[in-house]
Structure 1
Amino acid sequence: MSEVSHRRGSTGKGGRAAVPAARRPQPSGYRSGGSGGGGRDKSGRRTWPRRLAITLSALILVVAGLGAAFYEHLNGNIKGVAISGGGAEKADAFGRTPINVLVIGSDARDTAADCKLGGDCNDGGANADVEMVLHVSADRSNATVMSVPRDTVTQLPSCTDSKTGQQVPAQTGMINSALEHGPSCQVAAVHQLTGIPIDHFMMVDFGGVVNMSDAIGGVPVCVDSNVYDTYSHLKLAKGTHTLKGVSALEFLRSRHGFGTGSDLGRTVAQHIFLSSMVRTLKSAGTLTNPSDLYGLANAATKALTVDTGLDSITKLLGFADDLNKVPSDRITFTTMQTEPSPSDQNRVVIAPAAQNLLSAIANDQSLTTGSGGKSAAAGSTNSSAPTTPPAVPDAQIAVTVENGGGITGRASDIATALVGDGFSPQTGSANAPAPTTTVRYPAGKQAEAQAVASALRIPSSALHQDSGASGVTVLIGSDWSSGTTYPAGAGGGKPAPADTKAAVQGANAQNANSSSCAQVSTFKTVEVNGVPMTPSQAYADSPDIPNSAP
């Protein structure tokens, strides 16, 4: 660009002084003093405008050729994979639809580089080291990034293995293990677990993280204490460091360095890194600098595997444009709420408290206000403001389910589903004929009724206060003949809104515009020479190990 725009007659630094007019060589056909300031050939036609037009046309062809070559080069980098089983988004009143992308960090060691970076080269297969659902609202005013802890045990759906073409039966397993059978299986598993439609996916491996962080130029992160994770090899002194390349990968992979040393602490550290990355890209103007953008685009397209809905530069640029419309202070990072698995304390299961977060994302509800603060539903943080009674836990909400559709077993099925979702075991069933589904509740029980309706995907228009009701009652009408969630579009109403205050409780929510330090674990999560110790103790005990970044 600089060579094309450089003016050789410039008298500025680095340019040549202008040649006086009397000494300039006269081009063929040039006649001084001609009218209109242009030379003419023997036929009287002006020559320099024609030559200028020819020159400009040639330049345009060259630039267009470079642009086409660049476009084809980037397109050739992209790897596209078809997906299914992710559900479909519903349009809002203006015909706009949200975007939900499953971002996957693969721990595959398919190349020598990834094998060297990740270690454990002979373990085979691939798991989703990172799983984040990126939700961009239909009006592009806000976004939510929700991490799904990789240690979550759930029921995995049946799917088709992308390599063998064989049908994989439904089974219980860790949510990250579905990737072994291909991205489509992973998308279907996250969709089934969360109920959130997944339109697209983006997957990156170890080497891709290294190359992309290099292309960005590094991401500043802060740690609140000295840390040495002997497993991921991350070693940093207390304070702020700019991480790129291998050090960025070590930080993103560290699960023993932060929090309690589990995957939950790692998701919080990853959110800190990504929040800083968003701020870095926007403040540095990377997305508007052609040279920087080329390097980032080249690294990203080489590193990413995407679905066929994003497998071209045009499609990726469209998605990037949609994402770029969201201000950084309206991007919320969260972690899906979990609790220890009853059968294995080293694993977790989805917690009943997660339902509000999942419903908020599925129903396209923002977790921030227009000014970037917490959702208005979260209430005021002013100590002088009246306090809102805490939400009643789902486990304390007993529901009466009545069968009004005449289909045997319907009320029992729904009651069982509610208990399975974490509602009180006192939930029971009865019979009472009715054509439409409703949720009735007494005064003061609206929040409980909304929680029940949200879990069953019943629209808010079906909620009715009833002075004669003793508790929350779900009446299953003839408009709901099968399944344990209310069919989309039935009744013509919108889904009951999720409680956005409850949505972020226990979800480690943070705003992309706010900076914080990753909290180094105070537990003995690592070992040095076989001796258990905290990451800070390991740092002090390993002076000969170089830091990951200055």
Structure 2
Amino acid sequence: MAGGNRKRGGVRRRGVTTAKVAVGLVAALVLAAAGYGWASLHGLVSGLRVSQALAGEATSSNGDTNILVMGLDSRLDENGNPLPRSIYDALHAGDQQDGGYNANVLMLLHVPGDGSKATSISIPRDDYVDLAGCPDEQCKGKIKQAYGLAFDARARQLAAQGVTDPAQREQQAREAGRKAEIDTVRQFLGGVPIDHFVEVTLVAFFQIAQVVQPITVCVDEDTQDSYSGADFHRGPQQIDAQQAVAFVRQRRDYVHPSLNFTDLDRERRQQAFIASLAYQLKQAGTFADPAKLQGILNVAEQNTAVDQGLDLLGLARQASSLTSGNVTFVTLPIDHFGKDPAGEDVNIVDLARVRATVAHLLGTPVAPAAYRSAPVTVDVVDAAGRDGLARQVEQALSGRGYNTGSTTTDTRHLARSVIYYGSGESAAAAAIAAALGGLPAEPDADVPAGHVRVVLGTAFALPATPSPSSTAPAPGDSADPLPALTGGGIPCVK
């Protein structure tokens, strides 16, 4: 009799464990895959991948967990092979000839250790930022590009080294891409710890949707988009997996041009779909349905890459409340829409404002006011070889209230611009970095107390002080921040 009780208890524990793992995976995968879906087709991963990209990195304190969710712009599988034709047809997103390796969806999920409400922070893919480590010798670009640039550089290096196995070359190049993207996001957000990451593909989203379909969504107005295949009517409606892909990919409507879709609206579509799906999973009792649980787990095993330290049960304990709506969705602010030096559309950001917003959302000790200018002394080193550049920067910063220090010329020509700061000057360095167009800021024990050293590389361009007319968005291109969206229901969106 005792043996029978132990057996039943063992079976029950296994079922509970499976459910908890699924809760954690869905919390991450729903955020990852659904949020990423608008980008473009992704690869069908042959199995769960464990990455070393976060090895040795600092972690959050107080039991908090920060999970970076990345979705790639590749139409290939994890080994670099094309997907089945049926998948391309269903996703309405081109084929293996399209796309690249941009991280077209970036979300930071912050789960507080005290069990309070979680926050999902969407990072617009076209934010124009400093790329950590200058991947492929490009130091500034859209934040999504860090992955693809590092991937390309590593792939060429491996080919030159004689690595002929395509799968090995693909995975090593992806590891380089993951690290570059994670480092760039961490730097952009002001050095916040990233404890874990989940990398997913659009096909993962599609397959999850197939498991849980039909899915209810809601739109404010009738809308159509032949590019994504979207065709939705006003109000709530049930959609299948293929329509779900169109819902999260939609970024235009030429039939109803007054809707004025922008990238920010796509961010909101992603968030609304995640909130709706999480709510429906909870309402439908999906986590008590063994068949659907297994389907979700199969998707996770086939179509994700995660860091080596990800504890699925630990994540499940923290993240299970997400399916009850205990999460707020926030989109980071942009200053205005603009162009990069190559003429491509980008989001111009106020770095100090972004970092202050993140600090507030994550409850870090750095208050937004700390990013205001402080009376430190600024030393400028010209490593660009351009006469007068250091003096121009000194004058620009003195006009913002900083003390003028030394100006020197480095005999080397460096591509990368960077700001170095000593103990206690991280906030001042962040403000100066923002004033100079979003340069990276790094600690350096050799910088004297009360000083910040600015090193100007060959790619540096002194940003002009924008006038009210130049920063105003063009008609129909509003850069107003999206209001926060709270989970726990089915929100109606554009």
Could you say whether these structures have the same fold, taking a TM-score greater than 0.5 normalized by the shorter chain as the test? yes
Instruction: Using the TM superposition, give the Cα deviation of residue 327 of structure 1 relative to its aligned residue in structure 2, in angstroms.
Output: 7.7
For the residues of structure 2 that align with 1:512 and 1:273, how far apart are their CA atoms? 10
Structure 2 residue corresponding to 1:175, chosen from 133, 143, 150: 143
| TM-score of the pair, normalised by structure 1 | 0.55
Contact 1:79 1:305 in 2 (8 A): yes
Distance 1:360 1:122, change over 3 A: same
For the residues of structure 1 that align with 2:58 and 2:270, how far apart are their CA atoms? 28
Q: Which moves more between the two structures, 180-189 or 291-300?
A: 291-300
The letter of the residue matching 2:316 is A
SS at match of 1:190: helix
Partner of 1:184: 179
For the residues of structure 1 that align with 2:56 and 2:188, how far apart are their CA atoms? 11
For the residues of structure 1 that align with 2:231 and 2:59, how far apart are their CA atoms? 43
The letter of the residue matching 2:267 is T
Partner of 1:194: 189
The letter of the residue matching 2:197 is F
For the residues of structure 2 that align with 1:84 and 1:78, how far apart are their CA atoms? 17
- 1:132-151 matches, within 5 Å, as 132-151=107-126
Query: Structure 2: which 5+ residue stretches go unaligned?
Result: 26-45, 77-81, 152-176, 382-389, 406-421, 434-446, 455-479
Q: Deviations over 1:419-477 (max 9, x none)?
A: 89xxx95333168xxx99699xxxxxxxxxxx9798589xxxxxxxxxxxxxxxxxxx9
For the residues of structure 2 that align with 1:224 and 1:59, how far apart are their CA atoms? 50
Q: Deviations over 1:300-347 (max 9, x none)?
A: 33222212122xxxx223212211145845411111111223544722
Are residue 232 (structure 1) and residue 202 (structure 2) matched? no
Instruction: Using the TM superposition, give the Cα deviation of residue 212 of structure 1 relative to its aligned residue in structure 2, in angstroms.
Output: 0.9
Contact 1:215 1:295 in 2 (8 A): yes
Instruction: Using the TM superposition, give the Cα deviation of residue 479 of structure 1 relative to its aligned residue in structure 2, in angstroms.
Output: 5.2
Query: Structure 1: which 5+ residue stretches go unaligned?
Result: 1-51, 160-166, 366-376, 378-390, 440-450, 458-476, 485-504, 520-550
Are residue 83 (structure 1) and residue 80 (structure 2) matched? no
Instruction: Using the TM superposition, give the Cα deviation of residue 54 of structure 1 relative to its aligned residue in structure 2, in angstroms.
Output: 7.6
Q: Which moves more between the two structures, 191-200 or 251-260?
A: 251-260
Contact 1:203 1:304 in 2 (8 A): yes
Instruction: Using the TM superposition, give the Cα deviation of residue 122 of structure 1 relative to its aligned residue in structure 2, in angstroms.
Output: 1.1
The letter of the residue matching 2:402 is G
Partner of 2:400: 426
Q: Deviations over 1:361-417 (max 9, x none)?
A: 45448xxxxxxxxxxx9xxxxxxxxxxxxx99x9xx7x45244xxx9669xx9x979
Instruction: Using the TM superposition, give the Cα deviation of residue 281 of structure 1 relative to its aligned residue in structure 2, in angstroms.
Output: 2.0
Instruction: Using the TM superposition, give the Cα deviation of residue 190 of structure 1 relative to its aligned residue in structure 2, in angstroms.
Output: 1.2
Q: Which has the higher helix share?
A: 2
Partner of 1:506: 481
Q: Deviations over 1:463-501 (max 9, x none)?
A: xxxxxxxxxxxxxx96566678xxxxxxxxxxxxxxxxx
Partner of 2:492: 517
Are residue 212 (structure 1) and residue 208 (structure 2) matched? yes
Instruction: Using the TM superposition, give the Cα deviation of residue 290 of structure 1 relative to its aligned residue in structure 2, in angstroms.
Output: 3.8
Contact 1:98 1:364 in 2 (8 A): no
Instruction: Using the TM superposition, give the Cα deviation of residue 261 of structure 1 relative to its aligned residue in structure 2, in angstroms.
Output: 2.3
Instruction: Using the TM superposition, give the Cα deviation of residue 53 of structure 1 relative to its aligned residue in structure 2, in angstroms.
Output: 6.9
Structure exhibiting the larger radius of gyration computed from Cα positions: 1
For the residues of structure 2 that align with 1:203 and 1:173, how far apart are their CA atoms? 21
The letter of the residue matching 1:172 is K
Contact 1:107 1:126 in 2 (8 A): yes
For the residues of structure 1 that align with 2:324 and 2:4, how far apart are their CA atoms? 44
For the residues of structure 2 that align with 1:438 and 1:121, how far apart are their CA atoms? 48
Structure of greater relative contact order (alpha carbons < 8 Å, 6+ residues apart): 2
Q: Which moves more between the two structures, 97-106 or 505-514?
A: 505-514
Contact 2:19 2:288 in 1 (8 A): no
Contact 1:103 1:201 in 2 (8 A): yes
Instruction: Using the TM superposition, give the Cα deviation of residue 82 of structure 1 relative to its aligned residue in structure 2, in angstroms.
Output: 1.5
Partner of 2:438: none
For the residues of structure 2 that align with 1:66 and 1:306, how far apart are their CA atoms? 23
- 1:274-313 matches, within 5 Å, as 274-310=274-310
| TM-score of the pair, normalised by structure 2 | 0.61
Distance 1:483 1:245, change over 3 A: farther
For the residues of structure 1 that align with 2:484 and 2:11, how far apart are their CA atoms? 50
